[in-house]
Amino acid sequence: MIREHHGEETAPTLEIQSTEQPAFEPAAHGGVARPGQPKFARGTLIDRYVLLEHVGAGAMGVVYGAYDPELDRKIALKFLKSHDRDYKARARLIREAQALARLAHPNVVTVYDVGTFGDEVFVAMEYVHGVTLRQWLTARRRDWRDIVAVFGAIGCGLAAAHDAGLVHRDLKPENIMIGVDDRVRVMDFGLARAAVGESREDLAAPPPDQPVELTRTGTLLGTPAYMAPEQWEGLEADARTDQFAFCVALWEALYGSRPFCGETPSALLLAITRGDITPPRDGRRAPPWLRRLLERGLAVDPAARWPSMTVLLAELTRDHQAPKRRLGVLFFGLLALAAAALAARRIDQRREAAEAARLESEERAARADEDRKKAESIARNQEIWRLSTIGAHERDALALALAALAPFAPGFDDAPQVVIDALAGAMQAMLPVATIPIQEQSPRAVELSDDGTLLAVQFAGEVELWSTDPVLQVASVPTGAVNHAFVRISPGNRYIVVRDDDSCTVHASDGGARTVQVPHCHDLVFARDDSRFFVLKAHTGPIDRHTFTLLFDAVSAYRPDDGRLLWSTPLAARGAALALDPGDGRLVLATDQLAPIFLAADTGAALSPLVWRDLPAWNESWASRRDPASLAVSPDGRYIALAHPSAAEGALVFDTRRQRVERLPHLARTVLFSADGRRLLTANNDDEHTMVFHAAADLDSGGWEQSQRIVGKLHDATRDDELLLVGTDIRLSETPNLRQSTPPISSVHGEHLSTSRGGTRFAIISSGVTLWESADPLEVGRWTPPLGQQVVRFDEREVSTRDADGVVRLHDRRGERPPLVLPEPDLPGERSFAWSVDGGIWREPAANSKNRGLIRFYDEWGRKRYSRGYLPGGGRQTVAPAARAARIAAANPDGSVDIIEPPESTPLCTIAGDGTRVREVRISSEGTYVGVLHDSGELAIWSTPWCKRELAAFPFTMPDQILTSLISFLGSELFVIRDDNRTSVLDPETGLERCLAIDTCPGAEARKGFSIISSDGRFLLTSCRSRDNLEEVRLWEVDSGSQLANIDFSAYSGVAYNPAPRSPGLEEAALLEFAHSGEFLVARTQKGQLAVLSVPALEEQLRLHTRSAADDFRLRSDDRFIDVLDAESGAIHTYPVTRAGLVEAACRALARTDIAGQVASECGQLSAAPVP
């Protein structure tokens, strides 16, 4: 580090007086402290200058760092040493300082001001950051040219001072500064003699044995080694005196030693006055002309020196080699030509060496910087992974991951895998949307409106209302002190309800005015339009030795705007629960009777009771207490669920359409329908087990099927999922694999968690109030079949469903046309599906149908135009429709095959048989080629529409026990044949075999394997095992026939963790699928999730942590998204399947939270891709 230097005398200046013994002058003389001892304290005000620190001291004075407040700059403040209080000396000192202040030259230190402070004279000068000439010379060995350049600047400063009538008198390397800006400055002009303040007559010679380096106070001023002879003799100094010191300093700088040597002042004086110059030890360090120049400047007689510094500088900077160059041009011409090549080579070598050294240095610096950045990146990535695995910190992980991935946009191919894995893992979690700023008092209850747009937070004496998008307080409703933690929002968000003891108070949400207070309020339900509300009134009383039995008095209806009573129906029951049927506007009342009671919502009149079938008898063990525990009505009003302790063995579900009662095998105290009506949840609060039931697909026959048991206390439902509160964890009933940790909830009290029935948000009370999103962040789209319909086939354009009656419907996923209902429901044992092609609609029986039935063709309006049945007793596939064309290949009993284009029934052509029946027929997706396999083992490929034979494959025997297809056009126009462990890929266009892949399959496993080919025909995947029990798989390149990979695929089998058979209708669904581009492969993992593997390396690049199991999936044509079917819920979820899509999904998820601004920059770098 460069030391700061401010112009103080760091080398000793000798002042010799006539006394015999040298001594420092006491501090009291002249008022200046001894060297190294500051006189003034920090903060002292000198004139307008504020002292900052003591910098140093020398024989000529003391230097302080100071601050000039008027010009807002730091300066050096030097107090000049004076030996008495001679006012003439002080005046002379001030005049010379003022003269120096008028001198403006870049190589002379700038003097700003001069003044007095008491008896002291100070000089305010430039604060120079840099090193002395002495330090510059000793730092490293300098070239003589560099030294001459520096001394040229020194000479320019001296020449300018001499022109202004100033003489330095004490020039030496310590009085020369080289700043950090590389500018040379001469310090302390003319101040030395003025500081002494004594006449020439008083000067005396030094003692003969005085050491040269000793600094003393006296009348002879200067540094002995640099003093000219006239200074030793006490004569007046002039510009030539400075020239002498200049040459001494330059000699010392060039040769490393001074020109005059002497151990004592007398010896040094003798050498200087005689002109005895000591020759340099190495005269080659400078050219001879430079030595001659210095010897003249060191002459004893001042008249023999250079006339002025200007003349000396002219000679110093003159090109002394020019005459020699002119004389030697002719002589050295040929020699220069001969040496030019060698010199150029040497120059190139030096340049190359210098460049190599520079490059090596830069490489080392770059490697060090790269190592540092790599270490920081690793630490950051590890932190992202850690946060992604900690509950309630997934949002933080997403934000950090987006920042880490931004430099890798738009493809993210080179992004760190650990960050991608952390991003994918965090994307399965529920995310906090915002934190509600609350008062210092603690919140008691929260309530989220049905549509999720309004949040009520109850405090001891008021309720705050907040909008959720954006998060903003919109109102404050004073409620007064209430005892109950209870607040409700009406469906239309116009009113809020608070409860105090046994009364309910209704307030307007816009102004907070109280509209009505209802006493004896046990339960309160609003109409959907907020036009009225219904109250179940009750009081407590002693019955059957129970002191506080709840006795219900009446059901009443009120207008919320003015509190007017509309009607009141008396009620004589020991226990009751109230619900509003959303279907036809009737009230449902559960009492101590087993069956529910219905009241007209308009009048309160009792409706005719329904006659229920299969109504169970009372459980006598509960006969003494018949109070209903919970009541729920499905969104369509068809089902009423009742948790009644008196009901035998479990909760009851009343089907109002069939007037039938179903008893569920779960003793429950809480019942809740999902917002879509597909699921019914029952919970036993004692053991905190929640049972999930799914509505049967057969709505006419009704019924609820047990789906799963979850350890968790049931709380509430959002639009898509039900929230289960387990300690401080929240789960979703539809996706029980997801266990979401949240900030610690204050208690398990129900009022500390609230959901939006019409949305996907929920609010919790922890240390504050936090708003959460229960929607799947990874999901970019969802298609849900109508209730009672099951998905049989789907792609990105349409979905084929089937209901319990066998009615097949074709749904347009884009919603551009209504569902098309196909005539002729499936026969018993038949399961068919439909899909659209150009010109019509195909309908084909599923492969696992017990009754194969017919293959039918319909026009676009659903009218049947053609049908064809399978051959009786024929092979596995005797009729094959094209996947994307209105063309079909159908086998005849004589072994021939008809090629037909519906709706025309006349064949385009017929393929002749060989006398044996057709075992299997396949047609390519466009209907261009047809493959026919006969029982004779002959396999041939034909082109349409002329039935031209393109090639015949080798004959082989078709084993009867093999259930998988052996011949197929899989994903391309190439024909794939699998015979035991051999897979052939044939090109019908050329008639050549493109690839032959042979698996090493032990024993019978050869007949269990499968082969699939990518859509572009580049890659072939084979295995000895079945698709749902993978082990070893092999990847082949079709064009070369070479094996690219052979890896263990058991991690992508659905058997290890889920030994149960797959969902009905999905037994043959593929677990593997190539991307249309052939660049990656999607596989289902053991836990029903999805993994994206690179091709051809088959390395996992991305794992999609889908909340629901992937029972079937289809990649979309652009390979950016994948449609995943959850057979249990029937929903088709759309997820991104690329890294870019995953990042875009994370940006969309965080855009709905209060940290959207933090990731706006990173997300703005991503291309805005349309979401399906």
Contact by Cβ (8 Å): 584, 590: no
Sign for the CA dihedral angle at 127, 132, 133, 139 comes to negative
Concatenate the DSSP letters of all residues of 142-195 into one string.
Answer: --HHHHHHHHHHHHHHHHHHHHTT---S---GGGEEEETTS-EEE---SHHHHH
Catalytic residue among 170, 676, 720, 1126: 170
d(CA 956, CA 138): 95
SS3 30: helix
Nearest in space to 587 (alpha carbons), one of 628, 528, 657: 528
Helices 144-163/239-255 angle, 10° precision: 170
d(CA 1036, CA 1042): 6
Neighbours of 983 (CB within 10 A): 25
Task: Report the amino acid identity of residue 438.
Answer: I
d(CA 556, CA 589): 12
Residues with Cβ within 8 Å of 219's Cβ and at least 6 positions away in sequence, in order, are 15, 16, 17, 18, 196, 198, 202, 203, 204
Tokens of 424: 């994918």
78 is in an annotated binding site: yes
Contact by Cβ (8 Å): 158, 185: no
Distances in whole angstroms, Cα of residue 437 to Cα of each of 166, 228, 352, 773 = 74, 83, 66, 18
d(CA 392, CA 729): 10
SS3 683: strand
For 1001-1067, where are the alpha helices, taking DSSP H only? none
Sign for the CA dihedral angle at 86, 92, 95, 101 comes to negative
CA atoms within 13 A on the CB side of 69: 9
d(CA 1039, CA 26): 102
d(CA 471, CA 231): 87
d(CA 274, CA 272): 5
d(CA 681, CA 630): 12
d(CA 923, CA 181): 84
Task: Report the amino acid identity of residue 1141.
Answer: G
**229 phi/psi in degrees, rounded to 5:** -55, -40
Contact by Cβ (8 Å): 93, 80: yes
Q: Exposed, middle or buried by CB within 10 Å (0-12, 13-18, 19+), for 483?
A: exposed
Tokens of 153: 């600047």
Concatenate the DSSP letters of all residues of 309-323 into one string.
Answer: HHHHHHHHHS-TTHH
Contact by Cβ (8 Å): 786, 794: no
Contact by Cβ (8 Å): 53, 62: no
Q: Exposed, middle or buried by CB within 10 Å (0-12, 13-18, 19+), for 319?
A: exposed
Strand spans (E) along 622-678: 630-633, 639-643, 652-655, 660-663, 670-673
Active site residue 979: no
What residues form the annotated binding site for ATP?
Answer: 78
What residues form the annotated binding site?
Answer: 78
Active site residues: 170
